[in-house]
Structure 1
């Protein structure tokens, strides 16, 4: 192969390598963000589940109070 052609191919390969490296960094950053979002979502869901339990307990307590006061619907 001609030396100019070889140099041109090598130059293109260097550019491709740099682009791939840049993409790897971006994907790594996106994965870190996704991991963080998943953790926040899990915490949110856990908190929501706890609130659901609290609401259910309050409903039971209100029913008992209603029965004691004889105001059950």
Structure 2
């Protein structure tokens, strides 16, 4: 094989290697894009869950306050009817 043919052969192999590397880099890039998209979706879902949990805490606090008021009213009724010692 003469020098020019050898150079073309090596150049061809280098081009094939570069193309193969580009294929793998594109695949990696696509996978990273999917991971980022999934992570962003998880972030949105987590934010939604946090909002819902905060709403539940507010509901529980409201129910607790209502139960406290009912308990106070029941105590006054029991005292008025002499059901418990004053």
- Whether these two folds match at TM > 0.5 is yes
Q: Which residue of 2 aligns with 1:12?
A: 24
* Rg larger for: 2
Q: Tell me how large the CA RMSD over aligned residues is.
A: 1.3
Length-normalised TM-score, structure 1: 0.93
> Which ranges in structure 1 are unaligned for 5 or more consecutive residues?
none
Q: Give aligned pairs, total.
A: 73
The TM-score with structure 2 as length reference comes to 0.80
Write the distance in 1 (CA, Å) between the matches of 2:71 and 2:40: 47
Unpaired runs of 5+ residues, structure 2, are: 1-12
Higher relative contact order (CA 8 A, sep 6+): 1
